[in-house]
Amino acid sequence: MTQDPLHILKHTFGYPSFRPPQDVIIDTLVQGQDALVIMPTGGGKSLCYQIPAIARPGCGVVISPLIALMQDQVSALEQLGVRAGFLNSTLAPDAASAIERQLVAGELDLLYIAPERLNQARTINLLRQAPLALFAIDEAHCVSQWGHDFRADYLQLGLLAEEFPEIPRIALTATADGRTRAEIAERLHLTQAREFIVGFDRPNIQYRITGKNNPRQQLLGFIRAEHAADSGIVYCLSRKKTEEVAAFLRQEGMTALPYHAGLPAETRAHNQHRFLREDNIIMVATVAFGMGIDKPDVRFVAHLDLPKSVEAYYQETGRAGRDGAPATAWMTYGYQDVILLSQMMSQSDGSLAHKQAERQKLDAMLGLCEITSCRRQTLLRYFGEADHPPCNNCDTCINPVDTWDGTEAARKALSCVYRSGQRFGVSHLVDILLGKDNQKIRQFDHQQLSTFGIGAELDANQWRSVFRQLVARGYLAVDTEGYGGLKLQESCRGLLKGEARIELRRDTKDIKAKRSKHGQ
């Protein structure tokens, strides 16, 4: 006998209504069908499997890579009167056997399991003896080898479909891009599952991106002016930097804690615990921090370094304002970030194709930094939502960007790409435009090109910015088959023929955004 989901929502969880499409997802599972759910962080994924697990007879088995959070999740459920447990490597053997007994006896509503555990024959045998309500595969993008959260143990989860064909399964993630979604469906045998893709807009988050010049002082100024009494997260690229920045903020009188994978487990757990329980704490962290963190009142997320993809930026900034109240996503970025990230990518041991895919993702992120139009529009377009109006709650909407007529420069840049055969990268193209005399120029006889030396009115940095913006707006594409050469795209025809004009962004300045009507 199944219980009514709405009744469970109200009486167990204390919420008056579902956030669509939670209700439809829950019904799908209650009726024994599979579901694939793409929902932004903070959207309310947990209830999508917790409620059907309670509603259906038997136990809902949740596979999650977030071992550190299982204890917290289970305690929270127990406080609501839900019979929950977890099995992972942190559990003492007799505690684990107790959970196993409860599972088989049908005394659990929800069981959280680490993926590596599920790959043991022993666990599968155990599950065969137990009454099961459903399988939920959380953070399902971990099955994707393209993403940065890949876990080999997730690859085995496809076997659930074979071992337990009659038990409904739900896979959940906040990662939206099409390739990852297809990979999840295929690897987890969910190609027949009903797909739910929930809107990505987070209207209460104000997006701001500013050029780097003395980033620590910029950060300090931002926090003091707008979030002096708030909780927030500051993301840095390196472990060392998280500790330095945390120390700097402490010197300035703030409560700032570092968090990265190199800290002892107890320190990490302690800092995370303080962040979740106390007010006015700033977590200075690498990307190791955040997956699965449920703190609704994070008022700002600041990036001192460029994230390596739009997906990462969206996911990290999405940790702000989960309660729906105004929050700020603030970032400083500089050319150094791009160089550093590119170096990290080229030194990684992925395949060439993988490196190129990463490079493309970084270019899209840069595109978001350099646009002159609404950031939210661009962000949402990236996730496939094309028809949002300008948001009036991002820096470029609130303080329109200083632009210049880049038509002539763009035309020179594009014809330089064309004349040199559409196979060279930015550095070499800039060298041609500036009329540099170097070995590569001579090797290809490029001093003979009509575009050689025609770009003296701009310096190398400005030319690079022109090229980046042309890539960002889709006039040029980076060749992913070859070695990152730039190619003309259909859309640049108008510019080349002198029929279209283009406004380019002037070097980013520190923009102090006023609060918009959304951000009171």
Binding positions for ligand ADP, rule: CB under 6 A: 15, 18-19, 22, 39, 41-47, 294, 296, 322
C-beta neighbour count of 268 within 10 angstroms: 20
- Residue 48 CB, shortest distance to ligand ADP, in Å, is 8
Which of 39/478 has CB closer to ligand ADP?
39
State how far the Cα of 205 lies from the Cα of 330, in Å rounded to an integer: 10
- Residue 157 CB, shortest distance to ligand ADP, in Å, is 18
- Residue 299 CB, shortest distance to ligand ADP, in Å, is 15
19 contact choice in ligand ADP, Zn ion, none (CB below 5 to 8 Å, kind-dependent): ligand ADP
Q: H helices of 252-288, where?
A: 265-277
Which of 74/310 has CB closer to Zn ion?
310
State how far the Cα of 15 lies from the Cα of 11, in Å rounded to an integer: 8
Q: H helices of 105-154, where?
A: 115-118, 121-129
394 contact choice in Zn ion, ligand ADP, none (CB below 5 to 8 Å, kind-dependent): Zn ion
What is the residue whose two structure tokens read 């793409």?
38
For residue 194, the cross-strand partners are: 35
Q: For residue 63, give every residue at least 6 positions away whose Cβ sits within 8 Å of its Cβ, in sequence order, or none.
A: 113, 114, 115, 118, 135, 136, 137, 138, 157
Tally of helices (H runs) and strands (E runs) in the chain: 22, 17
Q: Find the distance separating the first CA and the last CA of the chain, reported in whole Å.
A: 48
- Residue 31 CB, shortest distance to ligand ADP, in Å, is 20
What does the DSSP assignment read for 159-216? HHHHH-TTS-EEEEES---HHHHHHHHHHTT-TTSEEEE-----TTEEEEEEE-SSHH
404 contact choice in ligand ADP, Zn ion, none (CB below 5 to 8 Å, kind-dependent): none
- Residue 303 CB, shortest distance to ligand ADP, in Å, is 20
- Residue 411 CB, shortest distance to ligand ADP, in Å, is 46
476 contact choice in Zn ion, ligand ADP, none (CB below 5 to 8 Å, kind-dependent): none
322 contact choice in ligand ADP, Zn ion, none (CB below 5 to 8 Å, kind-dependent): ligand ADP
67 contact choice in Zn ion, ligand ADP, none (CB below 5 to 8 Å, kind-dependent): none
Which of 54/391 has CB closer to Zn ion?
391
391 contact choice in ligand ADP, Zn ion, none (CB below 5 to 8 Å, kind-dependent): Zn ion
CA 416 to chain centre: 35
Residues that bind Zn ion (CB under 5 A): 374, 376, 391, 394, 397
State how far the Cα of 186 lies from the Cα of 196, in Å rounded to an integer: 16
Where in 371-499 does DSSP place strands (E)? 403-405, 476-478, 486-488
Which of 100/139 has CB closer to ligand ADP?
139
Length, in residues, of the chain:
520
3-class secondary-structure state, position 37:
strand
State how far the Cα of 370 lies from the Cα of 153, in Å rounded to an integer: 38
Which of 117/295 has CB closer to ligand ADP?
295
Which of 208/376 has CB closer to Zn ion?
376
397 contact choice in ligand ADP, Zn ion, none (CB below 5 to 8 Å, kind-dependent): Zn ion
22 contact choice in Zn ion, ligand ADP, none (CB below 5 to 8 Å, kind-dependent): ligand ADP
- Residue 378 CB, shortest distance to Zn ion, in Å, is 9
- Residue 322 CB, shortest distance to Zn ion, in Å, is 20
43 contact choice in ligand ADP, Zn ion, none (CB below 5 to 8 Å, kind-dependent): ligand ADP
Q: For residue 386, give every residue at least 6 positions away whose Cβ sits within 8 Å of its Cβ, in sequence order, or none.
A: 380
Residue in 227, 206, 239, 408 with CA at minimum distance from that of residue 317? 206
Which of 196/235 has CB closer to ligand ADP?
196
Which of 62/310 has CB closer to ligand ADP?
62
- What's the token pair of residue 502? 């283009």
- Residue 181 CB, shortest distance to ligand ADP, in Å, is 16
Residue nearest to ligand ADP (CB): 44
- Residue 49 CB, shortest distance to ligand ADP, in Å, is 9
Q: What is the 3-state secondary structure (H, E, C) of 456-488?
A: CCCCHHHHHHHHHHHHHCCCEEECCCCCCCEEE
Which of 86/475 has CB closer to ligand ADP?
86
Which of 69/257 has CB closer to ligand ADP?
69
Which of 15/404 has CB closer to ligand ADP?
15
- Residue 376 CB, shortest distance to Zn ion, in Å, is 5
State how far the Cα of 220 lies from the Cα of 234, in Å rounded to an integer: 11
376 contact choice in Zn ion, ligand ADP, none (CB below 5 to 8 Å, kind-dependent): Zn ion
